[in-house]
């Protein structure tokens, strides 16, 4: 890997890899099979500091920086994509907007608990009729005296089943042009008027709790507004810019895990009197996978590094997400090919990697959306 890591970043990789190997890997197949969240691992993840990596030290986090955080997500995903997305949605989609747009009071009220993993965060933008076209969302927040009253429905909310804090996007001005009338709110998980629906049964990341949320006259204090009234769409879009690097890292980790399983198998499996790794056909697959991983890692780390250094990184994040998502599907598919028939069964983690990889092409902006962002930057 030609991207130079600092000692701290290298230590983060080592610590999270060890945790993933010992505590995450043994649970990964079971939570996938049972479609259940790995709640028993959350305290240990909190202990390791995984929920506070992008939160500064004065707010209870470690302030480890974007690249260390990305490495942690990658290492979790190498063993289990579900564990990775729990941390990613919590950090990139909930901690980040509160840190960036929250008032000093909001930051103090939420970030220390979120950073400690005492509370888990989530982000609620998507609705049944507003996916890619997020600006058409219809969940409403109406001002009544000094309160906001929330009504509407969200779908596909990661961490929905157990989150304590939601960043929710709602329409506050029905008269304003679509994106302009949207505001962001901080909603607590136990609020009266919030119903969390049943988790979706999914192709992959089956342990990740993906739920609908229904708001029925949910009353919020005026200070639940995050940022300025009407700023919500911008908050959501900038949140997703950072999130995309996180999903690129998830895809990278899924691909890395599948690749390692394929290399190990190729060295053990004997056909025609020798390990299949000695067949040029298999070597070419390994070469392609290794090259894909290197390219994806460079793109992903570059986006995170730019973010950490305060440079524009939105286009690089879209490129990283687009490339890594497609690369993860490709690498996981090739890994199954290397294993042959046994790769198609649950005996090895490569079939799970293949199923898990697919979501990275869809959430936090589909491949098509990433291409729109990239093309726009090129055609300016």
Q: What DSSP string describes 208-228?
A: S-EEEEEEEEEEEEGGGEESS
Chain center to CA of 36: 18
Q: State which of residues 55, 124, 224, 350 lies at the interface with ligand FAD (CB under 6 A).
A: 124
Neighbouring residues of 250: CB distance < 8 A, sequence distance ≥ 6: 73, 74, 77, 81, 84, 85, 88, 360
The yes or no reply on residue 350 touching ligand FAD (CB under 6 A) is no
Q: Which range in 13-21, 76-84, 152-160, 174-182 contacts ligand FAD by CB under 6 A? A: 152-160
62 part of the interface to ligand FAD, by CB under 6 A: no
Residue placing its CB nearer to ligand FAD in the complex, 19 or 166: 166
**Looking at 48-56, 125-133, 175-183, 299-307, which segment touches ligand FAD (CB under 6 A)?**
125-133
Q: Is residue 374 packed enough to be buried (19+ CB in 10 Å), middle (13-18) or exposed (0-12)?
A: middle
Residue located via tokens 């004997």 = 270
Q: Count other C-beta atoms under 10 Å from residue 353's C-beta.
A: 31
Residue 252 binds to ligand FAD (criterion: CB under 6 A): no
Asked if 123 is part of the footprint of ligand FAD (rule: CB under 6 A), the reply reads yes
Residue 362 as a binder of ligand FAD (CB under 6 A): the answer is yes
Catalytic residue (one of 4, 346, 364, 368): 364
Half-sphere exposure (CA, 13 Å, Cβ side) for 307? 31
Nearer Cβ to ligand FAD (126/183):
126
Q: Which stretch binds ligand FAD (CB under 6 A): 7-15, 118-126, 211-219, 252-260?
A: 118-126
Residue 364 bears catalytic tag: yes
Stated as kind and residue range, the H or E segment containing 121 is strand 121-124
The answer to whether residue 112 forms part of the interface with ligand FAD (CB under 6 A) is no
For β-strands 165-171 and 182-188, DSSP reports them as antiparallel
Positions marked catalytic: 364
Which residues would be at the binding site for ligand FAD (CB under 6 A)?
A: 89, 123-126, 131-132, 156-158, 202, 210, 359, 362-364, 366, 368-369, 372
């Amino acid at each position: 890997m030609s991207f130079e890591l600092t000692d701290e970043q290298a230590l983060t990789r080592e610590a999270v890899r060890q945790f993933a190997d010992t505590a995450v890997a043994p649970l990964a197949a079971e939570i996938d099979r049972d479609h259940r969240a790995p709640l028993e691992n959350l305290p240990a993840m909190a202990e390791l500091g995984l929920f506070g990596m992008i939160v500064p030290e004065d707010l209870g986090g470690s302030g480890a920086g974007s690249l260390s955080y990305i490495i942690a997500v990658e290492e979790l995903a190498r063993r289990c994509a579900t564990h990775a997305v729990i941390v990613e949605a919590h950090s990139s989609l909930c901690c980040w907007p509160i840190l960036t747009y929250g008032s000093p009071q909001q930051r103090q009220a939420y970030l220390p608990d979120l950073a400690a993993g005492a509370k888990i965060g989530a982000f609620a933008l998507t609705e049944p009729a507003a996916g890619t076209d997020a600006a058409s969302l219809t969940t409403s927040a109406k001002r009544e005296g000094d309160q906001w009253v929330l009504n509407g429905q969200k779908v596909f909310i990661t961490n929905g089943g157990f989150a304590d804090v939601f960043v929710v996007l709602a329409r506050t001005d029905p008269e304003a042009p679509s994106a302009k009338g949207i505001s962001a709110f901080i909603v607590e998980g136990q609020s009266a008027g919030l119903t969390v629906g049943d988790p979706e049964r999914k192709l992959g990341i089956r342990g990740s709790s993906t739920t609908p949320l229904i708001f029925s006259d949910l009353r919020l204090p005026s200070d639940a507004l995050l940022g300025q009234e009407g700023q919500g769409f911008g908050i959501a879009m900038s949140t997703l810019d950072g999130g995309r690097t996180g999903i690129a890292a998830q895809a990278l980790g899924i691909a890395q895990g599948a690749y390692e399983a394929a290399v190990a198998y190729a060295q053990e499996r004997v056909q025609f009197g020798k390990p299949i790794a000695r067949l040029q056909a298999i070597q070419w697959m390994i070469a392609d996978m290794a090259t894909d991983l290197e390219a994806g890692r460079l793109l992903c780390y570059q986006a995170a590094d730019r973010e950490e250094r305060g440079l524009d990184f939105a286009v690089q994040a879209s490129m990283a997400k687009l490339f890594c998502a497609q690369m993860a599907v490709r690498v996981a598919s090739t890994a199954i090919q290397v294993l042959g028939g046994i790769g198609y069964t649950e005996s090895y983690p490569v079939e799970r990697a293949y199923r898990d990889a697919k979501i990275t092409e869809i959430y936090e902006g589909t491949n098509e959306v990433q291409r729109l962002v990239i093309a726009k930057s090129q055609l300016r």
